[in-house]
């Protein structure tokens, strides 16, 4: 059932001073676009043909039972913008309606575009990945899930996301549709382990229960990887793996973030004890102590040393991302591995681990001007 209504009231310019107003219902929508660029609200753009008389015309647009942002409603003249002019807009009291007053130089059939923000029609983006047995590639597919609870039917409409091909699909009120819109085939992945010193225990042997290191698949959104044409929307990602016998096993699921072109999608698939990190603070001393007139310590520096033993129990190479945090002002005195700064306090180390290998990590630093 359709609730959006558009009616023209034609001011009949007759010789009689008592000219009557003639109400004429408009045809159905000609073309309709459902734009899903913004996840907060959906933009509807529809084209209709107005039968205008010479002079002033009043067009009534109402939306009973449909949640439209009234301030967002716009009307654009397409065919004769110089001869057909929108003069003003008025909003009748206590009604879900507005009235456009349009001036036309002559009687004409005029195509206009009506646009508005419509609520309770939204979309979800989902990803399905099937990894090969070697975990070097995934068969990637992405679906658009369109949900319409707006109160309005759209018999024929183009559905547009902010990227990808448009869908020529209608959708009824209270209907949900799932549409395949991204199918690049096999894309390369990198399997990574991530140890964040702020989130994981430094010595897993001292913790009861099975403590593993988070494992993720990393997909680069680049043209070299069969992607890179547009940013990938955030959404739920489910990851499976070929079991080598014609079936698949479920590895895990994650909520992927928005991935700009050139950046990486990181999808968590579970925890693993194939790699262990045992970290210790070997030194934490106060130096360069400053006192006030009451001999009370007010500022000091620190001399700190952190070491870690990193071991790969796998029969194949692995990559570990090690995240360390140093608060406040600090200076690195010595570090045996290269790092990148994620921000002023976060250090990221990318460590390549050969099969069945062990590496020692060492980070010696000073923190400056620590308040007591």
Q: 93 lies in a domain? A: yes
Q: What is the pLDDT of residue 4?
A: 63
Mean per-residue pLDDT, 271-295: 93
Q: 327 lies in a domain? A: yes
Q: What is the chain's mean pLDDT, rounded?
A: 88
Mean per-residue pLDDT, 84-106: 91
The pTM (predicted TM-score) of the whole model is: 0.77
Domain stops at, among 76, 91, 118: 118
Q: What is the pLDDT of residue 167?
A: 78
CATH number for position 338: 2.60.40
Structure-model confidence comparison of residues 11 and 167, the more confident one: 167
Q: 212 lies in a domain? A: no
pLDDT (tens digit per residue) in 193-227: 999 999 999 988 777 666 799 999 999 999 999 99
Domain stops at, among 83, 118, 153: 118
> Residue 302 is part of which domain span?
276-371
Q: 55 lies in a domain? A: yes
Q: What is the pLDDT of residue 118?
A: 93
- Ranked by mean pLDDT, the top range of 21-25, 158-162, 220-224 is 220-224
CA atoms within 13 A on the CB side of 155: 6
Least confident of 38-47, 67-76, 349-358: 38-47
Q: What is the pLDDT of residue 174?
A: 92
Mean per-residue pLDDT, 273-285: 95
Q: 152 lies in a domain? A: no
Domain stops at, among 88, 118, 148: 118
Q: 286 lies in a domain? A: yes
pLDDT at 32 over 60: yes
Confidence of residue 21 (pLDDT cuts 50, 70, 90): very low
Q: What is the pLDDT of residue 320?
A: 97
pLDDT (tens digit per residue) in 69-83: 999 999 999 999 999
Q: What is the pLDDT of residue 209?
A: 62
pLDDT (tens digit per residue) in 177-194: 998 988 999 999 999 999
Structure-model confidence comparison of residues 67 and 15, the more confident one: 67
How many independent structural domains does the chain possess?
A: 2
pLDDT at 48 over 50: yes
């Amino acid at each position: 059932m359709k609730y959006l209504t558009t009616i023209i009231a034609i001011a009949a310019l007759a010789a009689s001073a008592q000219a009557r107003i003639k109400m004429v219902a408009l045809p159905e929508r000609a073309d309709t676009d459902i734009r899903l660029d913004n996840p907060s609200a959906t933009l509807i753009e529809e084209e209709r043909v107005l039968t205008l008389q010479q002079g002033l015309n009043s067009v009534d647009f109402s939306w009973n039972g449909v949640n439209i942002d009234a301030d967002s409603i716009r009307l654009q003249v397409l065919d004769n913008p110089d001869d057909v002019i929108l003069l003003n807009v008025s909003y009748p009291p206590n009604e879900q309606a507005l009235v456009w007053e349009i001036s036309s130089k002559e009687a004409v059939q005029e195509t206009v575009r009506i646009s508005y923000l419509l609520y309770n029609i939204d979309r979800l983006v989902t990803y399905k990945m099937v990894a090969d047995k070697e975990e070097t590639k995934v068969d990637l597919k992405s679906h658009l899930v369109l949900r319409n609870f707006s109160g309005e039917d759209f018999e024929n409409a183009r559905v547009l996301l902010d990227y990808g091909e448009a869908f020529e699909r209608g959708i009824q009120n209270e209907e949900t549709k799932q549409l395949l819109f991204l199918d690049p085939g096999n894309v390369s992945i990198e399997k990574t382990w991530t140890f964040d010193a702020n989130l994981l225990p430094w010595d897993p042997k001292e913790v009861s229960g099975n403590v593993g290191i988070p494992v993720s698949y990393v997909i680069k959104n680049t043209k070299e990887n069969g992607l890179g044409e547009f940013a990938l929307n955030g959404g739920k990602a489910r990851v499976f793996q070929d079991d080598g016998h014609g079936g698949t096993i479920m590895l895990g699921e994650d909520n992927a973030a928005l991935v700009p072109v050139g950046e990486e999608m990181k999808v968590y698939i579970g925890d693993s004890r194939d790699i262990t990190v045992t970290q210790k603070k070997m030194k934490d001393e106060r130096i360069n102590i400053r006192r006030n007139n009451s001999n009370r310590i007010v500022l000091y520096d620190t001399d700190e040393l952190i070491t870690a033993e990193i071991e790969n129990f796998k029969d194949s190479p692995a990559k570990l991302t090690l995240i360390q945090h140093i608060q406040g002002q600090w200076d690195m005195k010595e570090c045996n591995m290269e790092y990148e700064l994620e921000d002023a306090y976060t250090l990221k180390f990318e460590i390549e681990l050969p099969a069945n290998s062990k590496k020692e990590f060492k980070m010696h630093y000073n923190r400056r001007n620590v308040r007591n």
